[in-house]
Structure 1
Amino acid sequence: MAPQTGSTEKEAKPISAFPQHLTWEEIKIHNGRGQSQQQWLVIDRNVYDVSTFSKLHPGGSRVISHYAGQDATDAFVAFHSDKALVRKYLKSLLIGELAPDQPSFESNKKKSLLEDFRELRCTIEKMGLLKPSYTFFFMIFLHLLVLDIASWLMIWYFGISLVPFLVGMAFFTTAQIQMGWFQHDLGHCSVFRKPKWNRLLQIIVINVLKGLPASWWNHLHNQHHAKPNCFRKDPDLNMHPLLFSLGKTLSVELGKKKKKFMPYNYQHKYFILLAPLALVPFFQLSIFYFAIKRKKWLLHATCNVNQSLFNDWFTGHLNFQIEHHLFPTMPRHNYWKAAPLVKALCDKHGIEYKSKTLLGAFVDILHSLKESGEHWLEAYLHG
């Protein structure tokens, strides 16, 4: 059908039907809840309507929906390596921009901290710390295959008597844990520069070698990184009765409600999350200690596990928990290079940069489990 006489390209754009300038108050209303079911979010002062697109979002609908009514700039930058490609899809979703009198940041964010963080990310990109080493990841993949094959050869050659069985189990368990770390790298698209190659190899590692669906893991883990430690938004917290210890405040609240989950209480500035991610034979354990203040996308405080060749290998380099959550697509072999820069940023803004021994972190978990369990039980019985 031919266009009507007098129509212009500008009139054909959907943005003309929406207000050009928007305020934060207007944006916060469109969070997908309440009377308005629309989902708006802000990226670099531009406002986008993702109500329909969220269902088609490659990273999962919930990831993008979690930022409805909020500024998603830092999350957008952190999750997307090929930003030029993604921005092509954003053009059709653009509905306006922040009014000139509106600040670029939400009122609950510290402007100087976010500006310094974004400058730090530019520095890290210029240093090439987001580029993977193919040799490093080839050796990682090779060694986990060797361990896996050795476990089966041990049983095949020596039989199923006690000693061969235990040795084979040790090889197999170690291989499975290392596969988990490697597929974690692939899920964050930090092994190859092209996302499709990361996805393909991830399917081979987690689907074929581990027997778990990659789509399920990505759906949950993307949400975890988008909203770490936020109830109802971070799926990792949904499993906290089995894996997590929540500290005194939340343990008491949880005990009083006698529920598996509880809504996030905005009055509590801090909570403790102590989680052993993998408890397997021979104490192959990865430990992460969090004390996170709820500041969208920037950790107020957290704790690494000290660096060593063993700790790096043992935890899949996730002993650099601070750096990993700030730069989720960074290849793991570059965390140690980024750590001094992150520490300098923390020192500048008075944020404590903690790092503990592997044993010390494990002891913290045991103490926290005991303390939180006592608080929960007391609140459950007498709250």
Structure 2
Amino acid sequence: MTARAQPALYGRLLGEVRDAGLLRRQYGYYAIRIVANLVVFAGAWVAFAFLGDSWWQLVIAALLAVVFAQLAFVGHDAGHKQIFRTRRPNDVLGVAHGGLVGMSYQWWIEGHNRHHANPNHEERDPDLDIPALAFTSRQARVKQGFLRWMAKHQAVLFFPLLTLEGLSLHVSGIKAVWRGGTGMRRLERVLLTVHIAGYLTAVFLVLSPGLAVVFIVVHQALWGIYMGCSFAPNHKGMPTMSGRPGDFLHRQVLTSRNVRGGKVTDFVLGGLNYQIEHHLFPNMPRPHLRHAQPIVERFCRKHDIPYSQTSLVRSYRQVLEHLHELGAPLRAADRAQRI
């Protein structure tokens, strides 16, 4: 296939999706989703106040971890203009949701958009630039010291490391908004300050110091695991790229993995289980992704483009197998040195 024909191929797929009406906004769906999230969010904090200094508060911590993830999913959709047609109202909604969960929407979406432009690209995808892990052979080879030890055992460490994902989102967002900026960044600075002050005040005011610390650890760790487990199946363990990226259609499909499942899976993973369709049509409203999936799969099969789709459990297995495989040469080298 010629280079000129490749963009035309994507144009044909885009035409099919557009003709099916799958790029139309879904205001009613998002209104219900946002209101439901906010009701549960408020209800959880009301229950927190009524329970008082009780170990049952750890149930509230787990509930808040789920709610935080669901709020973050809405922020993700806003960042891709899935909710409104224009950028401004999506950004306002995204910043507001970022403030509720204590992360910088502006910082996150900047990196996420770079990821979408070049998924699994070794030099251009920020999601592959994680010091504690190695996602390619070249990354594994250059690890030194403690990071090399982590790379050797990264398959075992992967899920424990996800407990720190929530903390990482908080810290990275705080660093970003405190670097300066105008407009939305100033607003985010205020929202993050209010979030941190309000969260810590509520927790330490209602709970005894020891229980307060446990509550925070459980809440943030479970939120981190939830977020990590929602994003990890999408690309980890899929082919990586380097140098000049290929055409849009192939680089999005070949580096992405779908997760099979029904409406429960759609809800739990925030629609990210349709990762191929999401990458091909980032501004497609979340409820339309499941309808686009058979169209895209059929199109890819017709044009001999590998289309990856598996179960949720199998997706995690593929991720761990990939991480274990990359750590194998490092483990072998260490064994050889000891002999």
Report if aligned partners of 1:124, 1:338 keep a CA contact under 8 Å in 2. yes
Give the structure with the larger strand fraction. 1
| 2:246 paired residue number | 295
Match of 2:306 in 1: 352
- The yes-or-no answer on 1:114 pairing with 2:59 is no
Equivalent in 69, 83, 88 of residue 191 of structure 1: 83
Structure 2: gaps of 5 or more residues:
146-157, 164-220
1:335 paired residue among 266, 272, 289 = 289
Q: Which has the larger radius of gyration?
A: 1
Q: Report the CA distance between 1:379 and its aligned residue.
A: 5.4
Distance 1:381 1:296 in 2: 42
Q: Supply the AA of the counterpart residue of 2:283.
A: T
Matched, 1:234 2:125: yes
With over 3 angstroms needed to count, the CA separation of the structure-2 counterparts of 1:300 and 1:191, relative to structure 1, is: closer
Superposed displacement of residue 229, structure 1: 1.5
Distance in 2 between residues matched to 1:296 and 1:222, nearest whole Å:
17
For the residues of structure 1 that align with 2:141 and 2:42, how far apart are their CA atoms?
50
Q: What corresponds to 2:65 in structure 1?
A: 173
Compute the RMSD of aligned alpha carbons: 2.8
Q: What is the CA–CA distance in structure 2 between the aligned matches of 1:382 and 1:191, rounded to whole Å?
A: 55
1:111 Cα offset (Å): 4.3
Match for residue 25 of structure 2 among 128, 132, 135:
132
Unaligned runs of 5+ in 1: 1-107, 261-274
2:329 aligned counterpart, secondary structure: helix
SS at 1:132 equivalent:
coil
Please show how residues 15-34 of structure 1 align to structure 2 within 5 Å: none
1:219 to 103, 110, 114: 110
Mapping of 1:39-188 within 5 angstroms? 110-163=3-56, 165-188=57-80
Q: Is the 8 A contact 1:256 1:379 kept in 2?
A: no
Could you tell me which amino acid in structure 1 is paired with residue 261 of structure 2? Answer: Q
1:373 alignment partner, one of 300, 308, 327? 327
Tell me if the contact between 1:109 and 1:295 (Cα under 8 Å) persists in the aligned partners. no
8 Å CA contact 1:245–1:372 kept in 2: the answer is: yes
Does the CA-based 8 Å contact 1:311-1:319 persist in structure 2? yes
Instruction: For 2:142, give the aligned amino acid.
Output: K
Determine the C-alpha separation between the residues in 2 that align with 1:278 and 1:147: 24
Residues matched between the structures, number: 254
For 1:173 and 1:124, locate their aligned partners in 2 and report how far apart those are by CA, in whole Å: 35
Amino acid at match of 2:110: H
Shift of 1:245: 5.2
Kept in 1, the 8 Å contact 2:134–2:140? The answer is: no
How far does residue 194 in structure 1 lie from its aligned partner after superposition?
Answer: 2.1
Evaluate the alpha carbon distance shift between residue 187 and residue 289 of structure 1 in structure 2; reply closer, same or farther with a 3 A threshold.
Answer: closer
Of Structure 1 and Structure 2, the greater helix share is in: 2
Distance in 2, Cα, partners of 1:362 & 1:216: 27
State the Cα deviation string for residues 255-291 of structure 1 (Å, max 9, x = none). Answer: 333369xxxxxxxxxxxxxx98966539743142432
CA contact (8 A) 2:30 2:83 kept: yes
- TM-score, normalised to structure 1's length? 0.60
Q: Distance in 1 between matches of 2:334 and 2:36?
A: 48
